[in-house]
Amino acid sequence: MIDFYYGLGPNPDKVALFLEETGLPYAFKPVDTRRGEQFAPAFTALNPNAKLPVIVDDGTVVFDSSAILLYLAEKTGRFLSAPRGELYSWLMFVATGIGPYSGQSVHFTHYAPEKNSYAINRYQREVERHYRVLNERLTDRPYVLGETYTIVDMSVWGWARRLPFVLGTAPNWPDFPHVKRLVDDIESRPAAKAALALAGQHAFKREIDGDARTFLFPQNRPADA
């Protein structure tokens, strides 16, 4: 039985999707980041970085969604591709590009205490650039690595389904039709529906008030606080 430490957000969704696709048995362990539960000593003992998701598999602790996807894919032999070079490259494209730039775009567009036009433009344009690369990749293939649905597509899905919110605009899918096709394909899968339903299995705090901002963005506190 895998202990799955889950919170609201795109990265836990990716791992939830894999678990539901494979039917691996797991115990749902909610962690409410808007209440600061990620800083509890019991949780930081698992992930000193105080981020979600985390899994514990028979004593083996794995954190970071990309690491978890790779670990579970290798464990089960599912949702991989051969040779591995393309899989590693595109998985890291999501991990080091789409994810971080999307997260910064969300922060500066929606949650920063002061609007910073340079930061908003910087991160929104980088998000768009990465999605242009991805959209071009998908022009002649159903999935990122070709004909096979893999952990790369799962990783893309976590953030891509939120793209209009990431960019803070009206639906902009016409600019990325092939990405939209991939998102729609995954969203139609029973495993995706089950993964998204996990958010309703716990009374997570939804409001982002002052306390939630403190827990989500602790780096914004004054240095002497």
pLDDT in tens, 119-138: 999 999 999 999 999 999 99
Residue 222 has pLDDT above 80, yes or no: no
Could you please state the CATH topology (level 3) that the domain comprising 2-78+193-220 is classified under. Glutaredoxin (3.40.30)
Residue 84 neighbours by CB under 8 Å, 6+ apart: none
One fold for 2-78+193-220 and 84-188: no
* pLDDT tens, residue by residue, 32-74: 999 999 999 999 999 999 999 999 999 999 999 999 999 999 9
CATH class of the domain at 84-188: mainly alpha
Instruction: Name the burial class of residue 195, with classes exposed (0-12), middle (13-18) and buried (19+) by CB atoms within 10 angstroms of its CB.
Output: buried
**Domain boundaries along the sequence of the chain:** 2-78+193-220, 84-188
Q: How many CB atoms lie within 10 A of CB 135?
A: 18
Burial readout 157-178 (b: 16 or more C-beta within 10 A, e: otherwise)? bbbbbbbeebbeeeeeeeebeb
